[in-house]
Amino acid sequence: MQPSEVFVGAIDQGTTSTRFLIINHDGEPVASHQVEFNQIYPYPGWHEHDPLELVDSVESCIAGAVQSFENQGYSRTSIACVGITNQRETTIVWDHETGEPLYNAIVWTDTRSQAIVAELKSRPGASSLQSFCGLPLSTYSSATKLLWMLEHVPRVRDAFDRGTLAFGTVDAWLVYRLNGGAIANVFVSDSTNASRTMFVNLETLRYDDTLLDFFGIKGKLHLPKIVPSSDPSAYGKIASGALAQVPIMGCLGDQSSALVGQKAFSPGMAKNTYGTGCFLLYNVGEKPVFSKHGLLTTVAYDFGGKPVYALEGSIAVAGSGVKFLQENLSFFQSSKEVNDLALTVDDNGGCVFVTAFSGLFAPYWIDDANGTIFGITQFTQKGHIARATLEATCFQTKAILDAMEKDSGRALTELAVDGGMSNSDLAMQTQADLISIPVYRPKMRETTALGAAIAAGLAVGIWRNFAELRDINRAGGSVFEPRITREESAAKFEKWEKAVRMSRGWVSSANDSESHGERINGLGQSTVVNEALPMNTTNSTTKNTSPAQREQREMGILGSVPTVSELVTKGSLGPTVRVTTHSVMDGDQDGNRDWEISHTKTPLITVSSDLEEADEEDLFLELRKVEILQKLKRLRKMKLSYY
């Protein structure tokens, strides 16, 4: 086939939605399909995804896009290969032998590991970690999310102790499942994603024993093999569905993918992607540069030769701030309306919104702030808050650019942008005003997906080199020129910096973030017992999944619903289990009173006297049983309740 008749599929698995695009040789999407999936927020600061739902979303996007492709008269056999791009850091654990997930995915925005981070920071060697892996100790990286699971989710701990725990970021999970799971067992992660875990040495692009030792996971965990971002043989092929047997040829974390999609291949080039969060990547070439000003070092792309590195400024809240106005405050029905709402007023009316929903990331790294709006008066309208929300991301971008200039010694002359929030003209004009350089927005904004297609296409020669990509997506973009003076911009920024200073310290201790959970005395560490245990918790803000689907998933995790007696026989529940206190109820539906469980008015699960002396391991086992009981409770609608 001529290159012009060949297409590449791109899976873009983002934080709020999944897309599949079918892209032609000119880099144009000819068909696409997008679905949103549940955002699970069990408690303040917690954010989860259902790992199986992520896979479902990918499969249905592929089916939808292929259908639309064929409706236009194309044949699916002309789709030569698929590339993957994905939200980074989001952490998934599964059973290496069965391929079943053991907990919901903990999303990159989730801050529940604050206490763990605080403890890790006090360990010897903590301050030198960033010089190996490029990342600071924070709730953002996968490492601290994994440690939280090991500490708080008995079934994860159990799998770890038995040596059957597999860990991966979203790329590894999708590649594994798309290949058919445990049978094919394609267990790989590309360098850009792997570099977000804190387990990888940036110079060698291999797992680093010093890092694994620091986190206490050396030797016990199944970690995906690190492979190049573009590779004709590492990623296997899609096992079933509309593109069965089509090979996966490339994979990039979404921010790296956007850099590639913007074709920022030369040192000194940068891009800023305004999606759920906002991420500015600055190409520094073939040697990693370590920041002294609050930026991260990451792998830009690894196409098989020398890897290319980037300095990164990560902002946790961008489009999610817009979504917050839409979904939590009902300011409008659809994200795009934020632009018009903000235009109902001339300026922010004195409001500054520090959107620290997950603390503040780069370059501040403040984990004791929550979102705070300063300057509200009787005069304040929705429009002012909408403006302040858009401005928050633009101010943080300005702070990141200042830091980048200090680290690199060079100033950017233009900023290339993309991502959902970049569709707001007002946001992009504000951005140009605040950074005093032009902002360039390409016509085709699906640059993240384009990057994944390029990674896959390069592996099979659909494009043979970067020069062949030069004309892709070049025409028809928009340029936003700064319209205010540098002095005016500096005055606005000063106010923002003041607001950031004032937002510090709101979360008075790391434990504030766990106040919804309860502890078991005697574990020697903070342990959230109750709702940390079940997957797919329904105590959350969710959408799009029917109760029937949820129940099916739960059944999938446990297989068929076992009786308590069966569990005892299988050894999951020992006959001596006793979790007793006040009101005892016989939970065994078979009438065999071989275990008892109770709930107290106070939110503590209290163990009976013979277990009070029990050691930590025994208590973990007991918690595992409670987890099973909670599942039974939900599946059989038993009346057990915990706080």
Ligand X SMILES: O=P(O)(O)OC[C@H](O)CO
| Interface with ligand ADP in residues 324-383 (CB under 6 A) | 335-336, 338-339
Per-residue b or e along 316-354, where b marks 16 or more CB atoms closer than 10 Å to that residue's CB: bbbbbbbbbbbeeeebbeebebbbebbeebeebbebbbb
Q: Choose among ligand ADP, ligand X, none what residue 108 binds, the Cβ cut-off being 5 to 8 Å by kind.
A: ligand X
- Minimum distance, C-beta of residue 475 to ligand ADP, in the bound complex (Å): 22
Candidates 67-75, 180-188, 417-425, 597-605 — which segment interacts with ligand ADP by CB under 6 A? 417-425
Q: Which residues contact 423 (CB under 8 A, 6 or more apart)?
A: 336, 339, 445
Per DSSP, the three-state class of 343 is coil
- Minimum distance, C-beta of residue 99 to ligand X, in the bound complex (Å): 24
Q: For helices 154-162 and 616-636, give the axis angle rounded to 10 degrees.
A: 120
List of E strands, 323-411: 352-354, 372-374
Indicate the residue among 108 and 148 with the shorter CB distance to ligand X: 108
Question: How many secondary structure helices (H) and strands (E) does the chain include?
Answer: 19, 25
Candidates 14-22, 220-228, 392-400, 574-582 — which segment interacts with ligand ADP by CB under 6 A? 14-22
Interface residue with ligand ADP among 275, 363, 371, 517 (CB under 6 A) is: 275
420 binds ligand ADP (CB under 6 A): yes
Interface residue with ligand ADP among 419, 451, 482, 517 (CB under 6 A) is: 419
C-alpha 120/C-alpha 515 separation (Å) is 20
Q: Choose among ligand ADP, ligand X, none what residue 420 binds, the Cβ cut-off being 5 to 8 Å by kind.
A: ligand ADP
C-alpha 23/C-alpha 257 separation (Å) is 15
Residue in the structure block whose two tokens are 């999606």: 275
With CB atoms as reference, the residue minimizing the distance to ligand X is 275
16 binds ligand ADP (CB under 6 A): yes
421 binds ligand ADP (CB under 6 A): yes
Q: Choose among ligand ADP, ligand X, none what residue 424 binds, the Cβ cut-off being 5 to 8 Å by kind.
A: ligand ADP
Indicate the residue among 129 and 421 with the shorter CB distance to ligand ADP: 421
From 84, 91, 105, select the one nearest 38 (Cα to Cα).
Answer: 105
Indicate the residue among 24 and 85 with the shorter CB distance to ligand X: 85
423 binds ligand ADP (CB under 6 A): yes
Interface residue with ligand ADP among 38, 86, 193, 276 (CB under 6 A) is: 276
- Minimum distance, C-beta of residue 274 to ligand ADP, in the bound complex (Å): 7
> Which run of H or E residues covers position 88?
none
Indicate the residue among 228 and 313 with the shorter CB distance to ligand X: 313
Per-residue b or e along 358-394, where b marks 16 or more CB atoms closer than 10 Å to that residue's CB: bbbbbbbebbbbbbbbbbeeeebebbbbbbbbbbbbb
C-beta separation of 445 from 418 below 8 A: yes
C-alpha 69/C-alpha 72 separation (Å) is 5
**10 Å Cβ neighbour count for 283?**
20
- Minimum distance, C-beta of residue 88 to ligand X, in the bound complex (Å): 4
Q: Choose among ligand X, ligand ADP, none what residue 421 binds, the Cβ cut-off being 5 to 8 Å by kind.
A: ligand ADP
Interface residue with ligand ADP among 14, 134, 228, 307 (CB under 6 A) is: 14
Structure tokens belonging to residue 431: 């951005």
The residue ranges that bind ligand ADP (CB under 6 A) are 14-17, 275-276, 319-320, 322-323, 335-336, 338-339, 419-421, 423-424
